[in-house]
Amino acid sequence: MSLFDKFQPIVDIRAELAKLGVMPFGAVTEKLLSATEAIVNGHKVILAGTNNYLGLTFDPQCIAAAKQAVEEQGTGTTGSRMANGTFAEHIKLEQELGAFFDRRHTIVFSTGYAATMGMASTLAGPGDVIVLDADSHASIYDGVRMSGAEVIRFRHSDPADLEKRLRRLGERTANTLIIVEGIYSMLGDQAPLADIAAVKREYGGMLLVDEAHSLGMLGAHGRGVAEAAGVEADVDFVVGTFSKSLGAIGGYCVSNHPELEAIRFGIRSYIFTASPSPSVIASTRVALRLMQERPELRERLWNNAQRLYDGLEQLGFQVSPQVSPVVAVTIKDRNQAIAWWQELLQRGAYVNLVMPPASPTSDSLLRCSVSAAHSPEQIDRIIDAFAALQPAGMAAAD
């Protein structure tokens, strides 16, 4: 036995892809032309897999703020938040996020992964219980494994199954953390949060919602699925990322529980990593403001999502269960998915190829994510690239 034996399946897949001349994982963006176009693996493409939902990565105000921060505060903090890494701007961003979410306490993390994994690994511990949606993100699973708590999965977006599992716990629900996402990243489906919140109210426990893919998209203020469902009061902790709608990198947790201020000093992914660089904090603060000042971005995003969803559905592809900025095409044959990913790239559309175990089922996905920065013409060109895969339509759904 070797330490490397367990990696042999990955080695085999990489060798197989190399023979085909396909590089779907770690595709190289050689030059960014705009928020929606780039040169990827030698092809000029429309970017349809970047999660740049509001298209703010090239916003002049965000860029100007980042430049100014670099000039005035340097390229990095070179320390953790508990050492020398807390700058005044970190505190301001926490205050602004708290005001946006109408929550009294906020923690800013260096990445969204660190935020979600850190909260999942810290809130519950030995003797406690975590009940999570089976399709939760890898960062959630990594966190709950580290927590030492008993971990119970319930069927994806199934409030009845959640209720059954909480009922079995009895009095232990007082020490139970329930974890779900707002919009799930692979298929773009929304959690039935109103029903999940009702179950939580009946049986107890605390509820953590990951709004990574729903920030800026749903709710009267853009706070996500919890706001849209009218159940923010039932959500104890909201976590998310700056790397989607806010076009940067970093993460956050907001809560009305004053204990969050003490909890931050027990989160290893907060304590033992360098704090976000000044340029990232500066651009994120501006993007957060612009997200609130420009509701037309959300309208444009949803128009583009509907246009792409309808176009792919009309072609006969098996698309996501509901319209969202994530539009995924399900393909049962892995080799077909690989071949189509490569052909889409050659035809000028960059999408994400997702294969098991990253996909939620044994099927593969061609996962698209749309942006407010996409023009209707660009959306149509993405649809045209998929249409060129014909007789793709009905074959994709078989």
**327 vs 379: CA distance, rounded Å:** 12
Q: Which of 136, 147, 185, 255 is catalytic?
A: 185
Q: Where are the alpha helices (DSSP H) in the chain?
A: 8-20, 60-73, 88-101, 112-122, 138-147, 159-169, 193-203, 225-229, 260-263, 268-271, 278-293, 295-314, 334-346, 376-387, 392-397
**DSSP string for 237-271:** EEEEESSSTTSS--EEEEES-TTHHHHGGG-HHHH
- 213 noted as active-site residue: yes
Q: Which of 105, 137, 200, 244 is catalytic?
A: 244
- 147 noted as active-site residue: no
Question: Any bridge partners for residue 314, and if so which?
Answer: none
First to last CA, the chain: 41
- 164 noted as active-site residue: no
Here the tokens at position 284 are: 């994120």
Tell me whether residue 377 is exposed, middle or buried, using C-beta atoms within 10 angstroms of its C-beta: 0 to 12, 13 to 18, 19 or more. exposed
Q: Which of 90, 105, 213, 374 is catalytic?
A: 213
**341 vs 326: CA distance, rounded Å:** 17
- The enclosing H or E element of 178 equals strand 176-181
Catalytic residues: 185, 213, 244
